[in-house]
Amino acid sequence: MPLRNLIIIGSGPAGLTAAIYAARANLSPLIIQGLEPGGQLTLTALVENYPGFAEGIDGSALMGEMRKQAERFGADIIPDRAVRVSLASSPFKVSTDEQEHETRSLIIASGASSTLLGLESEKKLMGRGVSTCATCDAAFFRGKNVVVVGGGDLALEDALFLTRFASRVTVIHRRDKLRASKILQERAFSNRKIDFAWDSVVESILDPEKGRVTGVRIKNVKTGVLTDTLCNGVFVAIGHKPNTEIFRGQLDMDEKGYIKTSRGTSTSVTGVFAAGDVRDPIYRQAITAAGSGCMAALDAQHYLESIDLKNS
């Protein structure tokens, strides 16, 4: 395989934005799209907070347009996944299921995955009332009843944010006490819009046959009693996991596995950059991912220019 100037791992907003900028800089980037082409945004039926779309846009359609834009400028996208990398020295090696590639620089935009309940009904109703992003989707539930599944900081942050829109928020937690920080617990307990279903788990989400969420079936883990609760939305808030396993031991990460960056998007290995949710445990928005993708492409371009200048 030819030596590449730049390989981008991931094809969400960060990866494709990086590809657009890199391709326009004549770097001829190779994008390894991964198992989820387009990233988590493809699970969102309507994106209303991405600038430039006054009426909103389907998440899959938005990512499709980004992909076309990257390809228009010469980016090469392959339907494969990165399974192994070697970052000990340049050129870096990236192995997929099909072959090994070598590159002078690398942008990691492999994203983060939401931890899900694992229910078939959850999968069928994702983007149709089931969400993993309160900040993204809360406005769709103005004046409606919703539930939040979880008991940590993420769950209570989502629940409190949702009270700005929903008429009632029920937090479902499998234990009889929360794991969230004390200050968040105090805010949630004092909020009149928030109720709690303790010692409970979601058995199923109703109703896939109708193509929308109409309620949840909850099981009390102590008594075994099943209860149906009417609601219009389900927010799963039990955590996120950055997709960084293949980089473990080769790049500096925080305790949760998010890649540490400095001086923009630079990682602990010179010539390797990180963009999007893979380095961002806080914002996790399409627009912030796209912005860091732009930064990573510019950082990679400047890095390559500096190497070429030294060798000239």
CA dist., res. 92 & res. 2, Å (int): 13
136 catalytic per annotation: yes
* DSSP symbol at 114: E
> Would you put residue 41 in left (φ > 0), alpha (ψ -120 to 50) or beta?
alpha
133 catalytic per annotation: yes
254 catalytic per annotation: no
Question: Taking a C-beta distance cutoff of 8 angstroms, is the pair 95, 82 a contact?
Answer: yes
Spot the catalytic one: 80, 136, 280, 299.
Answer: 136
Spot the catalytic one: 133, 158, 277, 299.
Answer: 133
Which residues have CB under 8 Å from 63's CB, separation 6+?
A: 11, 12, 13, 16, 37, 38, 39, 41, 42
CA atoms within 13 A on the CB side of 280: 23
- Structure tokens of 244? 């960084």
Which residues have CB under 8 Å from 278's CB, separation 6+?
A: 10, 14, 108, 109, 110, 111, 112, 242, 243, 244, 258, 259
Q: Which residues are catalytic?
A: 133, 136-137
